[in-house]
Amino acid sequence: MATYSYKAIDGSGLLVTGDFEASNYGEALDYLQNSLEYTPIKVKEKKESAISVFLQRFQKVPIQEVMNFTKQLHTLEHAGVPVLTSISALKEQAETAAFKAVLDSVYRDLEGGLSFSEALSKHPDVFPEFFIHSTKAGEEAGAMEEVLLKLNDQLGRQSDIQRRIKKALRYPMMVMTAIVIAFVIIITFVLPNFIKMFAMGGQAELPLPTRILIGISNAFQNYWYMIFGGILAIGFLFNYYIHTEQGRFNWDRFKLHVIVFGKLFHMVSIARFTSTLQTLNRSGLPILQSLEIGAKSTGNKVVEKAINEIAIGVKQGQGLTIPFRKSKMFPPLVIQMISVGEESGSLDEMLVNVSEHYDSLVDDAVDGLMAAIEPVMTIIIGGLVALLAAGMFMPMWGMIEAFQGGPGG
For every residue of 197-263, DSSP letters joined together read HHHHHT-SS--HHHHHHHHHHHHHHHHHHHHHHHHHHHHHHHHHHTTSHHHHHHHHHHHHHSTTHHH
Q: Are the CB atoms for 257 and 300 separated by under 8 Å?
A: no
Does CATH place domain 152-397 in 1.20.81.30? yes
CA distance 76 to 99: 19
Please give the single-letter amino acid code of residue 43.
V
Helix (H, G, I), strand (E, B) or coil at 1: coil
Q: Terminal CA-to-CA distance of the chain, rounded, Å? A: 88
DSSP string for 265-291: HHHHHHHHHHHHHHHHHHTT--HHHHH
Helix (H, G, I), strand (E, B) or coil at 15: strand
Instruction: Return the DSSP state at 42.
Output: E
Helix (H) or strand (E) holding 370: helix 347-404
Q: Per residue in 7-45, is it b (16+ CB within 10 Å) or e — as a string? A: ebeeeeeeeeeeeebbeeeeebbebbeeebebeeeebee
Distance of CA 151 to the CA centre of its chain: 15
CA distance 320 to 312: 10
CA distance 143 to 157: 21
Q: Closest Cα to residue 372, out of 162, 160, 174, 165?
A: 165
Helix (H, G, I), strand (E, B) or coil at 154: helix
Say what the pLDDT of residue 13 is.
Answer: 80
What value, to the nearest 5°, has the Cα angle with vertex 402 and ends 397 and 403? 100
DSSP string for 310-346: HHHHHHTT-TTHHHHHHHSSS-HHHHHHHHHHHHHT-
Regions of the chain with pLDDT less than 50:
54, 408-409
Q: What phi, psi does 81 have (nearest 5°)? A: -80, 130
- List Cα–Cα distances, 125 to 61, 104, 151, 274, in angstroms: 9, 16, 16, 24
CA distance 62 to 119: 19
This prediction has a pTM of 0.61
- Please report how many Cα atoms fall inside a 13 Å half-sphere around the Cα of residue 145, on the Cβ side: 8
Q: Are the CB atoms for 367 and 160 separated by under 8 Å?
A: no
Say what the pLDDT of residue 202 is.
Answer: 56
Say what the pLDDT of residue 252 is.
Answer: 92
CA distance 255 to 297: 17
Nearest-10 crossing angle of helices 347-404, 191-201: 40
CA distance 125 to 107: 17
Q: Are the CB atoms for 213 and 387 separated by under 8 Å?
A: yes
Say what the pLDDT of residue 402 is.
Answer: 55
Q: Closest Cα to residue 157, out of 232, 243, 263, 267?
A: 267
Q: Are the CB atoms for 335 and 325 separated by under 8 Å?
A: yes
Q: How many residues does the chain have?
A: 409
Does CATH place domain 60-151 in 1.20.81.30? yes
Q: Closest Cα to residue 351, out of 291, 286, 300, 303?
A: 291
- The 10s digit of each residue's pLDDT in 153-190 is 878 877 776 777 677 667 777 877 887 787 778 777 77
Number of H helices, E strands in the chain: 17, 3
